[in-house]
Structure 1
Amino acid sequence: MDTEAVRSFVRAAEFGQLQHAADELGVTQQAVSKRIAALERELEVRLFTRTARGVELTLDGQAFLPHARSVVAGVDRAVTAVRPGSRALRIDVLGLRSAQAVVLHDYWRSHPETDLDVVVLRVNDPRVAVAAVQAGDVDASFRTVTDPAALPRDVQMIHAFDSPLELLVGPRHPLAPARKLTPPQLRKHRIWVPGIAPRSEWAEFYDQLATAFDLRLDAAGPNFGNEVLLDALADSADLATLVGARDRYIWPTNHDLRRIPIVNPTLAYPLSLMFPRTNPHPGLRAIINHFASLTPLPETAWLPSWAMTPRRSADDIARR
């Protein structure tokens, strides 16, 4: 099977346009069309139907696509494995100040020889991140598909580590003097988490959290970034938000914001890592081993429902 024909099919499926696929591959539209036609003859099925907008996958094309992505990713990895100066390990994190990025930075400081490329996919739907892993655009992604049955067979997902939550408030907030807080103490206080995206894993997390502890979570308004959120907290006597204990936030000294741990139980966000089931990047195992060395949660901890089921963890991988 012509792997460049398979690559042309994958790119055409992603763009929905033969010309866009040709532009990315650096060939003519006619060349892409010929490759796909040859692939269809070899498979004895039609992969696309032509529309006024471009091309759409047939049912056979939809069935073939995840396998085709795996073929392309495997070829790319094979070439990279023998190419001098092979590319860095590319890992998607939610944000460069997120717990995931902080943990990776801690690892890199201890292993500066690691060729690591930390990127941020600007997507909220974890299925898009799955597709990026399948396509080889990233080697791994810190995203969670909360329904394991929906995870493609060619993508593996493990539990990486858990991120305890803290309450972040300004100096005039009534909870600001507290050294620690329990979930019942948060009730009736407005907890602002702007920009919770529908279909995201964190939307499901916050929904379960609010229900479990009767919390007043406010997702109103767009997310204008951390600086705007921190300014609002500093100026307010009743506004609070939730942040991960390992998340990195920086604010002016005069903001005098307070990060207060939540205990009995500790509220924790579970972080998963997705990567190809076959031929993962060779640099990934050492980082997974590093996750296994992180401090575990205390015994009294709350996690969302999907994290309470048996899950394969970094410890399991490290023991292999």
Structure 2
Amino acid sequence: MKRPAFLYIGGSGAQSASIRAISEQGIVSVLTDISPDAPARKDADRFEGISATDADSLMDLAGKLAEDYDLLGAYAGADHAYPAIGEIVDKLGLVQGPSMAYGKASDKVTAAEIWEKTGIRVPEMIWCGTREGLTPEGDPTFLENPDAAIVIKPSNMDYSRGVSMLSVPDRYSIRKALDGVFEHAEEAVIQKIAEGDLVNVDGLMVDGGYYPLTIIERHIHPNGRCQNFFGISPAPLAAATEHALHAQAAQAARALGLQNGLFTIDVIVNGTELTLLELSPHSTVNGDGFKAWLAYLQGDPDWRHKL
């Protein structure tokens, strides 16, 4: 009988607890990271120096792992690894995803259109286009003088790179922000910023069923680049708000076709009004939910007890 193994992409210090949890459950933890000095390397049973965006090398590694081990799954703490994970899921038939859901989640425009059709509130879209769609002066073809705060970001998931929040937008700041996006992506989106508090809602999907995990109140760095500054978990919210947030997480995941795996949604909370920003196929806090997911993949009938 082959030993179980699990592929973990990304070895930042924040991933150490999850990688230790893999080994503690008797699973061979295989970590990949582009840096040989990745902080979590010391916690893994095996390490491979591969970038999270090198889909071909990750696929080759996963194929070899599937030959030598019972490969249970693949996971990444960063959004930009999920094109590779989707390919691995498809080719090896892993019990997660499916990859179609990863693809829909990674395309912010497609995801927003799907959610809006199911009745979920999403930010107002002002413009979406490529560099070729700008005017000769470098301006997007939309309102000349935006009358509201806006966010400019890549249309695909890219770990918040190229994201700018402009509270008082003008032509210069918009052009500069778009240049930043086009350094990382081919297509940019401009949306009105929804007012309220930002939270992450972590959940676990198993065979289409939703299992609530935790809610984190997020605070963004004041540099305007949409970088996480700190978070409060559990978020100090009313029970009714928590219930509504988990209901929206389940609805958002099912709308994209996500059947199995950990995920998180970014939501703006303004009183009773919820505005869904995006869904990422990994959790913010890899605690009991991650352990329960590992137990499920091992066929443990009592996996729910770990939640």
| TM-score, normalising length: structure 1 | 0.25
Structure number with larger C-alpha Rg: 1
| Alignment TM-score, normalising by the size of structure 2 | 0.26
Q: Say which structure, 1 or 2, has more relative contact order (CA 8 Å, 6+ apart).
A: 1
More helix by percentage: 1
Higher-strand-fraction structure: 2
